[in-house]
Amino acid sequence: MKSLCLLAFSALCAAQTGVRLTLPDAEAAALRNHPRISSARLQAQAAREQITQTRAALRPSATMFLTATGADPGSTISAGTVQTSSLSSRTATGFSATQTLFDFGRNSVLTNSVRLRADAQEAGIAAVRADVLLRVREAYYRSLAAQAQSGLAEQTLAARKVTLKQIAALTASSLRSTLDQSFAELNVSEAEIDLEQARNRHGAALVDLAAAMGADIPARVQLEEQPAPDGLPDSADGLTKMASEKRPEIQTARLLLQSARRFADSERRLMLPTIGVTAAAGLLGPRDARLLPHYGGIGLNVSIPLFNGSLFTSRRREADLRADAVEQDVRDLEIRVAREVRTAWLDADTARRKLDLTARHLEQARKTFRLARTRYEAGLGTIVEFTQAQLSETAAEVGAVTARYEYLYRRALLDYASGQ
């Protein structure tokens, strides 16, 4: 089968010398250039920044102030609020600092939830990479099939032109009828149409390959053949277990579930007190003579939630329900992945068995064509019989080439489904 595929596009290799591209080279280019991978990495980096943002609530914060006020002498109160100190004309500069001392672990749990969410985002990079590589392999194998079919079309056209030349010579010698020559000319015309269509499919397949790689490729590129993969496992059971452990989508979903559980825990801690300290200090410039040239103070604050219209209770219930929903999503994903693996294994097994069937079909088609050609050359067969055998051989060759690359793609799909 391998020699058949090499023969199928040998004519194309001889006629078209371009840049040679292997599957590993195409995959490496996709990993370097594809914007989906770059986007996933940037999203993961952005998610990491949320860890610092969440943890900042437990770190000290300080603010610097510059203040200037003017007030009537003796003012002690203003409309709308009760002042704790008299209103005085002054200028001042200073700072205020706050530090949370204890919040019963809420921020720590919340930070852990955000960190797990960031880990899930990074695990998502592996899922994007796997999907990009699958698209590259699909496009590469389809391009190889189109390349081989184009080579077959060129060989078929060359062979039919030789046949036409022979029949035309026999017709000129009155050994064959003009009908035979007309059939041979028709076969050449059909082969020319098939060749144009094959070249168009080859060009379109290369365009798809370039898009899958996220980079331009030369117009005259020669794809390298790929070796046959290892034998197919006897069943999908082991692959299903492997997929449950290695599929990046499942790993991402499980990390999101852990994050949701941690977030629900942090929401339950909203009802607990928070203890913090606040300090302020500064210097006064031009000011009311009754004011000291500096100020300072420090205080301890204990915040105890009492009543807020069941806000915290509702938030806790919402977080628990969302975590339960994520758990069900994980179970659903595991079921879908197992189905994907088993379906991919069945498709790959069918494609493997189809290789033997198409090989036998090709052998029978070639045998039939040889017999039809011998009968026609001996004057025992008709041009219709000969032409039909020729068309059957061409169709069998195309079917054998297509079956090989279909099997390679099905194996790539099985590797992707099982998390390899």
- For residue 74, being part of any structural domain is answered with no
- For residue 308, being part of any structural domain is answered with yes
Q: What is the pLDDT of residues 22-66, one digit of tens each?
A: 888 888 888 888 888 889 999 998 988 888 888 888 888 888 888
From 352, 409, 407, 404, select the one nearest 2 (Cα to Cα).
404
Coil, strand or helix at 224: coil
- For residue 286, being part of any structural domain is answered with no
Instruction: Specify whether the CB–CB gap between 65 and 94 falls below 8 A.
Output: yes
Looking up residue 411, the CATH number of its domain turns out to be: 1.20.1600.10
Instruction: Specify whether the CB–CB gap between 344 and 414 falls below 8 A.
Output: yes
Instruction: Specify whether the CB–CB gap between 111 and 269 falls below 8 A.
Output: no
- For residue 242, being part of any structural domain is answered with yes
The four Cα atoms 111, 113, 114, 115 give a dihedral, to 10 degrees, of 80
Which amino acid is present at 28? A
- For residue 85, being part of any structural domain is answered with no
261: Cα within 13 Å, side-chain hemisphere: 8
DSSP E strand boundaries for 71-191: 90-102
Measured distance CA(265)–CA(267) in Å, rounded = 5
Instruction: Specify whether the CB–CB gap between 301 and 381 falls below 8 A.
Output: no
How many domains would you assign to the chain? 1
Coil, strand or helix at 120: helix
Measured distance CA(268)–CA(344) in Å, rounded = 44
pLDDT per 10-residue tile (average), the chain, 420 residues: 38 49 86 88 89 85 81 59 58 83 84 89 89 89 86 85 83 80 84 86 86 76 78 81 87 91 89 87 75 81 84 90 92 90 89 89 87 81 81 86 88 85
Measured distance CA(214)–CA(384) in Å, rounded = 49
Q: Report the relative pairing of strands 90-102 and 274-287 from DSSP bridges.
A: antiparallel
- For residue 215, being part of any structural domain is answered with yes
Report the pLDDT value the prediction gives residue 84, as an integer from 0 to 100. Answer: 44
- For residue 39, being part of any structural domain is answered with yes
Report the pLDDT value the prediction gives residue 73, as an integer from 0 to 100. Answer: 62
Edge-to-edge strands of the sheet including 294-303?
61-69, 90-102, 274-287, 294-303
Report the pLDDT value the prediction gives residue 85, as an integer from 0 to 100. Answer: 52
Helices 237-246 and 383-417, packing angle to 10 deg: 50
Report the pLDDT value the prediction gives residue 158, as an integer from 0 to 100. Answer: 87
What is each CA distance from 391 to 160, 176, 191, 197, 355, in whole angstroms? 11, 21, 10, 16, 20
Report the pLDDT value the prediction gives residue 1, as an integer from 0 to 100. Answer: 38
Report the pLDDT value the prediction gives residue 161, as an integer from 0 to 100. Answer: 85
Instruction: Specify whether the CB–CB gap between 106 and 114 falls below 8 A.
Output: no
Report the pLDDT value the prediction gives residue 261, as an integer from 0 to 100. Answer: 92
Residue 257 structural domain: 2-65+94-280+297-417
- For residue 89, being part of any structural domain is answered with no
**Which residue bears the tokens 């919040």?**
103
Measured distance CA(158)–CA(161) in Å, rounded = 5
Measured distance CA(15)–CA(3) in Å, rounded = 19
